[in-house]
């Protein structure tokens, strides 16, 4: 099924070798959690994130030394790198000079506007875009009486206006709240006011379960409304989970090609370990960029009927498993042989789809 989404018309922002906005596919972002000054571990993590499907990565630049490390990091990774900078304009300029592909700042916390002007001058010279935005945790005092979503939008707009004042329009905006509904409303609000692309995510979304649910609701709604240009699913812990989650979200919305593993919820008829088989199949297909649906079902009673939409499926029987392909039974096997058969058919389907 194709997803019909009318994307909001936005400017295009070039970030290294990637594009955000202007109808370009929604890009997947994540952020390292290494000490950026430790170049080896930062590069290793970026490469791990890229392998998982990350397309733009952000690194924290808390010190001038970390900004100097950008040069080496950039030489050894292939996805665009964004520098996250607070307060110190010198770090931003150092990062730009060392080849950063985009910077994330809040002009409002850089201090004197002459410092912002200096950042803008360097960003223009090196063609480095800037992401500005607002976060529900750090709203300006004078906006606190407004409804939260509006306050977020207005706070982001303030940051945008500072850059525009110095003739800078190579901008991506984010308005982030840790609340799902506020995130949705704030993005709707800012989307009506400007045509800069939007970086969308629920901030501080929490641990895996919490973030997956919050992020799926907020991003799902906003993606279907056409307002999202790039995403980050924030999850406490290993950043690779953020990338896996974002990839799955875009795949399940039919915006990317990828595997869809269907598994029954199990019931008293279940005769094999559905969860572990489904996990094994997920692992088997984790690097596949083709659309394929594989069904894992606990029994044959309802199983084959329930799984007939799948390209390939496996269902438990009392003595082994049944493997099926496009609703037709391939045969009955022992568990081990059934898994081999499943793999064989999965490869066959992928080959057919790729050709």
Binding site for ligand SF4 (CB under 6 A): 264-267, 269-270, 297-299, 301-303, 306
Beta bridge pairs of residue 56: 29
Residue 342 CB, nearest approach to ligand SF4 (Å) = 16
Is 208 or 301 the residue whose CB approaches ligand SF4 more closely? 301
Is 268 or 355 the residue whose CB approaches ligand SF4 more closely? 268
Residue 315 CB, nearest approach to ligand SF4 (Å) = 7
| Residue 319 backbone dihedrals phi, psi, to 5 degrees | -110, 0
Residue 123 CB, nearest approach to ligand SF4 (Å) = 56
Give the 3-state secondary structure of residue 318: coil
Going by their DSSP bridges, the two strands 312-316 and 292-297 should be labelled as parallel
Is 43 or 277 the residue whose CB approaches ligand SF4 more closely? 277
Residue with the CB atom nearest ligand SF4 in the bound state: 298
Other beta carbons less than 10 A from residue 301's beta carbon: 14
Is 201 or 298 the residue whose CB approaches ligand SF4 more closely? 298
Is 168 or 324 the residue whose CB approaches ligand SF4 more closely? 324
Instruction: Select from 95, 77, 81, 84 the least CA-distant residue to 40.
Output: 77
Residue 263 CB, nearest approach to ligand SF4 (Å) = 8
- Annotated ligand binding at 299? The verdict is yes
On whether the CB atoms of residues 246 and 27 are closer than 8 A, the answer is no
Residue 270 CB, nearest approach to ligand SF4 (Å) = 4
Quick one: residue 68, left, alpha or beta (phi over 0 = left, psi -120 to 50 = alpha)?
A: alpha
- Annotated ligand binding at 351? The verdict is no
127: which 2 tokens? 């063609």
Is 275 or 351 the residue whose CB approaches ligand SF4 more closely? 275
Beta bridge pairs of residue 312: 294, 325
Is 151 or 297 the residue whose CB approaches ligand SF4 more closely? 297
| Residue 346 backbone dihedrals phi, psi, to 5 degrees | -60, -45
Residue 295 CB, nearest approach to ligand SF4 (Å) = 9
Is 96 or 271 the residue whose CB approaches ligand SF4 more closely? 271
- Annotated ligand binding at 267? The verdict is yes
Residue 321 CB, nearest approach to ligand SF4 (Å) = 13
Residue 312 CB, nearest approach to ligand SF4 (Å) = 16
Where is the binding site for [4Fe-4S] cluster, in residues? 264, 267, 299, 306
Where is the binding site, in residues? 264, 267, 299, 306
């Amino acid at each position: 099924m194709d997803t019909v989404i009318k994307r909001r018309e936005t400017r295009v922002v070039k970030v290294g070798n990637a594009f955000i906005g202007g109808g370009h596919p929604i890009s997947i972002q994540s952020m390292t959690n290494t000490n950026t000054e430790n170049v080896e571990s930062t590069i290793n993590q970026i490469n791990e994130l890229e392998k998982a499907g990350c397309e733009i990565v952000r690194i924290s630049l808390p010190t001038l030394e970390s900004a100097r490390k950008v040069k080496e990091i950039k030489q050894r990774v292939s996805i665009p790198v964004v520098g996250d900078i607070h307060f110190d304009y010198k770090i931003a300029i150092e990062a730009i000079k060392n080849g950063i592909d985009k910077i994330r700042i809040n002009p409002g916390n850089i201090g004197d506007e002459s410092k912002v002007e200096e950042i803008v001058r360097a960003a223009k010279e090196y063609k480095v875009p800037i992401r500005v935005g607002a976060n529900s945790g750090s709203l300006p005092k004078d906006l606190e009486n407004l409804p939260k979503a509006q306050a977020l939008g207005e706070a982001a707009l303030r940051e945008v206006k500072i850059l525009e004042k110095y003739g800078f329009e190579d901008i991506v905006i984010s308005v982030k709240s840790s609340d799902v509904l506020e995130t949705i409303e704030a993005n709707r609000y800012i989307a009506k006011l400007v045509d800069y692309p939007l970086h969308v995510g629920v901030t501080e979304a929490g641990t895996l379960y919490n973030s997956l649910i919050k992020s799926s609701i907020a991003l799902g709604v906003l993606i279907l409304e056409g307002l999202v240009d790039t995403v980050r699913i924030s999850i406490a812990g290993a950043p690779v989970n953020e990338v896996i989650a974002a990839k799955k979200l875009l795949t399940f919305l039919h915006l990317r090609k990828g595997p869809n593993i269907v598994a029954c919820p199990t019931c008293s008829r279940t005769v094999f370990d559905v969860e572990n088989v489904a996990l094994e199949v997920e692992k088997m297909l984790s690097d596949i960029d083709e659309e394929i649906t594989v069904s894992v079902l606990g029994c044959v009673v309802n199983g084959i009927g329930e799984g007939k939409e799948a390209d390939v499926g496996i269902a438990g029987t009392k003595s082994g498993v049944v493997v099926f392909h496009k609703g037709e039974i391939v045969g009955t096997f022992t568990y081990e042989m059934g898994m081999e058969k499943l793999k064989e058919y999965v490869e066959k389907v992928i080959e057919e789809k790729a050709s």
